[in-house]
Structure 1
Amino acid sequence: MEVIEIIEIIIKLGVGLSILNVWLIKRDKETPFRGGGAMSMQEEFMSYGLSKKAMIAVGTFKCLFAVLLLISIFNSSKLLEYAGAIGIAVLMSGAILMHVKISDPAKKSIPAAIFLVLSVAVLFL
């Protein structure tokens, strides 16, 4: 296995597991990165002016794309890899825009920016 392949696996594991952690385990917990001073994911979406249905849709897609990235570690399908990476990149771009929309400090966008960059990196590795 080449070094680039190992780096790509580490990125996919980091992004995929982190997104699943945020949406499945820490969804109702306070973090320093929640938009608008929210204490939970639902409050965060409310601060963006988005509904609970929007939160469920976004969460479903983020988890789906995270799982696709994780599956692509074991399945060499470029379709799975690209769908996961592009999906996460698009959603992270949206997350950054939501933080900007409500004038959050830049530090709250750091996780989304990191996942955006790492997802784009997967496309080019």
Structure 2
Amino acid sequence: MPKMVLKAAYLAINGVDVTAFTSKIELTAEVEEKDVTTFASGGWTEVLGGIASGQLAVGIKQDVAAAAIDSIMWPLFGTVVSFETRTSNSAVGTSNPKYTGNVLVKEWKPIAGGVGDTAEHDVTYPTSGAIVRATA
């Protein structure tokens, strides 16, 4: 049975590779569940898929130096930007598909932590439009 350990996942936000600042990447896609049960359903619930949505959750290692993650993300706050992620920073292919789309940068945490903590935080961005999976 194949198994995978994420060691070098890839993430670009607004066309900028931010992999060096990320410690977690989680892309979720889901669809609304719409109940279409009728008296003819034989006592069983019937459902159809409704509107799809997604989220991109990212663990960030903060860095406020020039050209680092804070200077990349702060100007994007409140805007919809593109993303690309894949399980490996290797070339895109059938064994390493890429997932692309757009996200709303709805939050940013310039400072998070206590005395002696690593400057890191988690953010979650809703997708805007479709998430596309490609192998080329």
TM-score by length of 1: 0.23
* Higher helix proportion (structure 1 or 2): 1
* Higher strand proportion (structure 1 or 2): 2
**Rg (Cα) greater in structure:** 2
TM-score by length of 2: 0.21
